[in-house]
Structure 1
Amino acid sequence: MQSLCVPPLHFPATALRRRRILTTAVRPVRAELREDNNPLIQSAIDSAFHRLRETNRKEPLFIDPYAACFLPPYSKNESSINEQQQHYCLATKFIDDKLLHIAKRIDGLKQVVMFTDGMDTRPYRLNWPTSTMIFDVSPENVFEIASNKLQGVGARIPKSCLFFHIPVEPGNIEQCLRSKGFSGNRPSIWAMQGLPLESQSSFEAILSAISSLAMHECYLIGELPTNITLQSDLAKWMDNLFMSNGFKAKIVSYEEIATSLGVVLHSPINDDAVLFIAQQLRFSDDQMETWRQEFQRVEEDGDEQGFEEL
């Protein structure tokens, strides 16, 4: 893909908000909750386990003081880092830093929309600027379990911010976001990590909704699972798909992130996901409607003035 005109690819240190971190030993196998047969819950727990292991490292890329609350206690705690965890944590660090970097450049009200697995702790652990509206789009049953556990350990959204959950199941994400106060006439930042996607068409539908809602020059950052498509040339397919929805996209190399952070990467290739950053080149539907109404008003004013002159 061609290079994307975005802020320089540097990685400001994510605010590490030291809180009392649960240090319960855990095992990297699927946790045995009541919902242990639910693959969505198990996948979210696996990601939480990656974040906990990263948090407990001597020099972590980020700190998640709440990851342990999703995991049951076990006596076994492996310290080795596998490739899947390393890629996931590098992507998490990249998305964390980009979200905060872009949000802090926006004056006034900020809108952050995150497509997650339901156990994402960014609304609680990141140092969000004031006047930030945070929307979490995720599976409802996973989110409800996570919300109860987070409340149990005292997790709180910053007082100067607002938080809304949007269930991904109804499908009409655009309408649901609008019903919670989202406006396409205000700046927004979009992120995607962990959201269970059933198929290529499900991602295309989400991207189309984002394209309709995101203002001109807004950013979408995230990881796209590779198992949703059988495209032989993934980079070309992504470039065409994003461009058809008004986005200029750039695939971000895990190796590039690791190098910038001084991390030795076990494998530069991630067969499970592609990390990307994209910028909106179009205007949102709300922007277009606002301008249409303004243009109509100007025309009507002109007609009235012409009639008076006659």
Structure 2
Amino acid sequence: MADTAHRKTGVEGGVGLTALMVAAARAIETHRHDSLAQDPFAEHFVLAAPASAHWPVRIQQVPDGDANPLWGRFARYFGLRTRVLDDFLLRAAHAGGVRQVVLLGAGLDSRAFRLDWPPGCAVFEIDREGVLAFKDQVLGGLSATAKAARVPIPIDLRADWADALTDSGFDPGAPSVWLAEGLLFYLPVTAETYLVDTVDRLSAGGSALAYEVKLEKDLMEYRDSPLYTSTRHHIGIDLLTLFDGGPRPDSAGELSGKGWSASVHTPFEFTRRHGRGPLPEENDALAGNRWVFADKPPA
């Protein structure tokens, strides 16, 4: 019975389980004295799912604390990523005047509830039905109130999600800001190419996009990286079996070819900027991670 209930949550395993891992990392970051990002809902997601109910949500619950590769360094990475992408979205909404936010592979992202959006903002959340249903159940139990017009769109990103988005009220004629956080390396190459092409097609001038990619040619070179081994050991997630193993497209180059202005950054640049977060180390599973930010010039 417990297994059946767990399957119904939509976060029971595979990529869905990684959403809980990121939620646990955000919970740990939230409770740090030097927190970069605040997500008061994250720990509730972790505690609500049977698979993760025993995971730590505070660094004090980890016996080796920040020395733990998963709940220390890797969680710091997710905390930093959350802060950087929060800033990106809010900058587009407040300074750029964008009122349409699209979260691709939204997972357990609670930005519609925790960020201070300007009036008139709509946040479209695209993910599998089970994931969104689990999130809605947890947030409903907390009587959480969204700070923008939230529009969940239950569809797999490997399907034709563009029509589902426009049918839900998204206006391709108005500027938008898009986010694909921790998503593309799980998708087949064809799905990534379709995603980038679709974002370009649906984006009016003045739109923006942020996403994360991995540049390693052979991910298995990092099979014994502490981040991967600790994730397998502590929570049973083998990330390397979940990542798509095919060669990745040059999506930043494709966007530049379509007229976007794209910049590619290492996470370590933002560690130095914010004064906390991961720095390079030997046999580093984060060595190939890049955060890409792109802007489409106004028409």
Q: What TM-score, normalized by structure 2, do the two folds share?
A: 0.74
Name the one with the larger helix percent: 2
How has the CA–CA distance of structure 1 residues 252 and 213 changed in structure 2, closer, same or farther, with 3 Å as cutoff?
Answer: same
Offset of residue 156 of structure 1 = 1.1
The verdict on how the C-alpha distance between 1:255 and 1:166 changes in structure 2, with shifts beyond 3 A counting, is same
Q: Counterpart of 1:44 in 2: which secondary structure? A: helix
In the superposition, relative to structure 1, how do residues 239 and 149 fare at CA in structure 2: closer, same or farther (>3 Å)? closer
Contact 1:44 1:117 in 2 (8 A): no
Residue of structure 1 equivalent to 2:292:
276
C-alpha separation between the residues in 2 aligned to 1:75 and 1:211? 39
* RMSD over equivalenced CA pairs, Å: 2.7
2:275 to 259, 262, 275: 262
Q: 1:112 aligns with which of 86, 101, 106?
A: 101
Q: Secondary structure at the match of 1:46?
A: helix
Say if 2:76 is the partner of 1:89.
no
2:180 to 192, 213, 218: 192
CA contact (8 A) 1:40 1:142 kept: no
Distance 1:37 1:178 in 2: 29
Which SS does the other structure have where 1:176 is aligned? helix
The equivalences for 1:10-49 within 5 A come to 34-35=6-7, 37-49=12-24
- 1:240 aligned partner: 253
SS in 2 for 1:34: helix
Residue 154 of structure 2, aligned match among 167, 179, 186: 167
Q: How far has the Cα of 1:122 moved from its partner?
A: 0.8
Structure 1 range deviating more: 214-223 or 59-68: 214-223
Letter in 2 for 1:105: A
The 8 Å contact of residues 137 and 168 in structure 1, kept in 2 or not, is answered as yes
CA gap 1:246/1:139 in 2 versus in 1, 3 angstroms: farther
Alpha carbons 2:24, 2:55 under 8 Å: kept: no
Identity score, percent = 21
5 Å matches for 1:283-294?
Answer: none
TM-score normalised by the chain length of structure 1: 0.71
Question: Matched residues in 2 for 1:50 and 1:139: separation?
Answer: 22
Aligned partner of 1:250 in structure 2 is 263
Q: CA deviation at 1:33?
A: 6.8
Aligned length: 247
8 Å contact from structure 2 (residues 259, 297) kept in 1 = yes
Quote the offset at 1:208 in angstroms.
1.0
Q: Indicate how the Cα distance of structure 1 residues 228 and 271 shifts in structure 2: closer, same or farther if over 3 A, else same.
A: farther
Larger Rg: 1
Q: Following TM superposition, where does structure 1 have runs of at least 4 consecutive aligned residues deviating by more than 6 angstroms?
A: none
Per the alignment, residue 286 of structure 1 pairs with none
Kept after mapping to 2: 8 A contact 1:135/1:164: yes
The answer as to whether partners of 2:182 and 2:211 remain within 8 angstroms in 1 is no
Unmatched tracts of structure 2, length 5 or more: 48-52, 216-242
Does 181-190 or 42-51 show the bigger shift?
181-190
Residues 33, 241 of structure 1: alpha-carbon distance in 2 compared, 3 angstrom cutoff: farther
